[in-house]
Structure 1
Amino acid sequence: MIVGIGSDIARVDRFARAMKRHGPRFAQRILGADEQAAWQAKGQPVSYLAKRFAAKEAYVKALGLGLRSGMQWCDIQVINDTLGKPSLKLSGEALRLFQASGASATHITLSDEADYAVAFVVLER
């Protein structure tokens, strides 16, 4: 049974401007440790940041709570399996809120074009 759905779209140029203004510190606020390592390995593409941010926004929308209660962006990570399929890796407050929601599984899809990144998340019981 589906207990939550969320989607988000992000403009890639917004993240390019933020990176120019704040440098790598901006990415460190958004990305968890696993994501930072993958981002570095890929050459720090701005589209990677936009997709990850859209995924995190979609997740908090699926929870129906927004970013609150001490949850941080780095508590929500998007990791890819060997074939590239994305999944959510939750920790800290994001994990606690997921467990409290009654959901038992997450499903995520990501996509991007030149100007936009989109994410869709489903929480299932």
Structure 2
Amino acid sequence: MSDLVVDGFKASQVLAQLSNATAAFSDADKANLLKKTNGIFQLQVKNPEGKEETWTIDMKKTGTVYKGPAKPKADVTIILSDDTFTQLAEGKLDGQKAFMTGKLKTKGNMMLATKLNIVLNAAKDRAKL
């Protein structure tokens, strides 16, 4: 999973934890999460130095997280800063507020973007076990 971690991106640590959590899910739990979410999220994250990285969360077919653009095509692309993603993952920022204030932009199925929170919370709940 270390291929997910990129120096200078706090989001990469969160995504590595998400990847570990989804890998630890039982088949039934993973199937349930895929059914609830049913989408491929492509995250374009920019760090404070202005570098940009892309990760994909596939919650449609495989239930995996990987670095790079979505294959197949993403249902929604979410464009945000490293800090914004970290705050979303920690529950310190609401996704809708982030969108309304311009901290988060989407391309594609905007309603699916609201389901990213389901994925992040499922991983957080798993980490507590």
Q: TM-score, normalised by structure 1?
A: 0.27
Structure with more of its chain in strand, by fraction: 1
Q: TM-score, normalised by structure 2?
A: 0.27
Relative contact order higher in (CA < 8 Å, ≥ 6 apart): 1
